[in-house]
Structure 1
Amino acid sequence: MTNSAKPRARAADKRRRLATEAARVLHEQGVERTTLADIARAADVPVGNVYYYFKTKDELVLAALSEHSAHLDELTGRLDQLPDPHDRLKALIEAWISQRETAARYGCPTGTLAVELDKRADGILDTEAGTAIRRLLQWAEEQFRALGLPDPDDLALTLVSGYQGMSLLTNALRDPDIMTRQGAHLLRWLDSLKDTDPAA
């Protein structure tokens, strides 16, 4: 690595650390309660350096939303390795259930951010928060369509609504068992759809 490449690599690493920690801290504390200093401390970056990478807190929120989208893409990319769309959808639900302890403490990362950002007047960040949820809906719709089921867009809405609902209740009641029980209900619902699949 050349001398000029090293500072660029260090800068990219700091920016990535800040974005990663912003995603985590904003999920845990919420946008309004989180300061740039909180994120800088979590990323082990001097607070004065944050402004070199992100001029405003909103830019850090956008970076956090991009991190959540990247995590979703990583998850769906792994699920796409499974040959059967029914198995992909089941694995998605099982991934949600595995996050029940986090959901009980903080809720769904994108869902909670979307709700909080919707209260703001500018209407820019909340649109970005909705992007990740739309991507999940589109991915789920593709799976239902691949199964040959009617109304795949409605089925995707039912699935993602079920997830958001169980995340909200799990968080509000601080009860991870809700995620387990409702996740099992979604799995049974998914199996019942397979029984009506004309290609099955």
Structure 2
Amino acid sequence: MSDAPLKSKQKRGALRRDALIQAAAALFWIKGYTGTSLADVAKASDVPLGNLYYYYKTKADLALGVANFFADETRALIESVSEEKTEPRARLKFLVERMRATQGKRLSYGCPIAAACRDFRETAPEASTRAGESFSLLIAFIAEELGKTGRKPSVALLKARHVIADWQGGIALAHGLQQPNVLAETYARMERTLAS
């Protein structure tokens, strides 16, 4: 007996799960976690609401799925930067370039990871913590690369935190003021900080 029907069903399930996560991530970012219903997510993903409950029993479960998506995307970013460049300073410069590529959406809606950390905290604390791991991953990567340039671990970690704090502050200020130059200045400052 062929297992092709089972594999096809599993593939459809994975596609639906991905569609739900993509839709939820976008809606939570744009409309906010509390402003988004499970019906909104089902509609945006073209997955019937009844089927959504097969994959995610609660909104908190869906929030955790989104937080896992953010952490996976951050890991993928770090891996692609590591594969693309070998020298630590080149990796850090390339990381900032990749972050800069998303500045348009961040100007419009702020940072989706920061929003998830904030919005999930009360009703989905596990998801909030998991979303925050994206920042931890970036800080650890930057600190490790700075360490390879001869920085003491404590100094490298401090500088890595400073860069991510500057990035998040730049996003918040640019979004609040609706001034793209604020974010452009932030990325330039991040590059200078990481190069020094």
Equivalent residue in structure 2 for 1:154, among 147, 153, 158: 158
Aligned-partner residue type, residue 132 of structure 2: G
Q: Report 1:121-136 matches (<5 A).
A: 123-136=125-138
Equivalent residue in structure 1 for 2:101, among 88, 93, 98: 98
Pair 1:122–1:116, CA change in 2 (3 A): closer
Deviation at 1:121, TM superposition (A): 6.0
The structure whose residues are more often helix, as a share, is 2
Q: Report 1:1-200 matches (<5 A).
A: 2-81=4-83, 82-118=85-121, 120=122, 123-150=125-152, 151-191=155-195, 193=196
- Aligned residues of 1:141 and 1:153 also touching (Cα < 8 A): yes
Deviation at 1:122, TM superposition (A): 6.2
Kindly provide the CA deviation profile for residues 85-104 of structure 1, in whole angstroms up to 9, marking residues without a partner as x: 11111111122222221111
Aligned length in residues: 191
RMSD: 1.5
Kindly provide the CA deviation profile for residues 179-198 of structure 1, in whole angstroms up to 9, marking residues without a partner as x: 1111112212222x2xxxxx
Deviation at 1:55, TM superposition (A): 0.2
Cα distance in 2 between the residues matched to 1:57 and 1:137: 29
Deviation at 1:158, TM superposition (A): 0.8
Q: Give the TM-score taking structure 1 as reference length.
A: 0.89
Cα distance in 2 between the residues matched to 1:189 and 1:153: 13
Q: Name the residue aligned to 1:197.
A: none
Identity value in percent: 27
Aligned-partner residue type, residue 183 of structure 1: Y
Cα distance in 2 between the residues matched to 1:15 and 1:47: 12
- What SS does the corresponding residue of 1:4 show, helix, strand or coil? helix
- What SS does the corresponding residue of 1:133 show, helix, strand or coil? helix
Pair 1:30–1:121, CA change in 2 (3 A): closer
- Aligned residues of 1:100 and 1:177 also touching (Cα < 8 A): no
Cα distance in 2 between the residues matched to 1:36 and 1:122: 15
Q: Give the TM-score taking structure 2 as reference length.
A: 0.91
